Amino acid sequence: MAKILVTEDSIYMRRVVTTMVREAGHTVVEAADGDECLRQIAAESPDLLLLDLVMPGRDGLSVLGELAKSESSLPVVVLSADIQESVRRGCLELGAKAFLNKPPKKEALLAAIRQALGEANRDTER
C-alpha cells in the first residue's frame, strides 16, 4: 500500500484522517504545518499528500505553490473547511488532484486517494 503524508494542524482532525487512512492499509506520516510538511516530503518521499489549507505559519496554498514551483509529481488531495468555489478552483489549478470538504466522509476520502494514486501510477508508466 501507499505511504501517505497527512498534514493537518488540528490534532483531532489529523487523528480522524490518519485512522481512516491506516484502516485502509496505508502507512501514515504526519505533519502539523506547512514547513513540517515540506521537511517530511524531503525525508519520507510519500506517495501522496493529504493537505489542510489553513494552518499556522506556512499554509496549504503555500505548500501547493512550492510543489508546483519545484515541478513535483507528488499527488495532493486537499482537505479544507473552506467551501468557496474560488478556493477549490485555485487548489486544482496549483496541481491538487482532488478537493474534499472537512470532515471528509470515509468513502469519499478513500476514493480520492485511490484516484490520485492511480493517476500517479499511470503517469510513471508512460
Q: Tell me the domain boundaries of the chain.
A: 3-125
The rounded radius of gyration (Å) of the Cα atoms in the chain is 13
pLDDT for the residue numbered 120: 61
Please give the share of the chain, as a percent, with pLDDT higher than 90: 87
Report pLDDT digits (tens) over 17-41: 999 999 999 999 999 999 999 999 9
**Average pLDDT for 102-108:** 95
- How far is 34 from 78, CA to CA, in rounded Å? 13
Residue 46 and residue 22 in contact, taking contact as beta carbons nearer than 8 Å: no
- How far is 49 from 75, CA to CA, in rounded Å? 6
Please give the share of the chain, as a percent, with pLDDT higher than 70: 94
Average pLDDT, the chain: 93
- How far is 29 from 46, CA to CA, in rounded Å? 8
Integer CA distances (angstroms), 123 to 21, 56, 68, 76, 116, in order: 23, 33, 16, 14, 11
Fold of 3-125: Rossmann fold (3.40.50)
pTM for this prediction: 0.92
- How far is 36 from 27, CA to CA, in rounded Å? 18
pLDDT for the residue numbered 122: 56
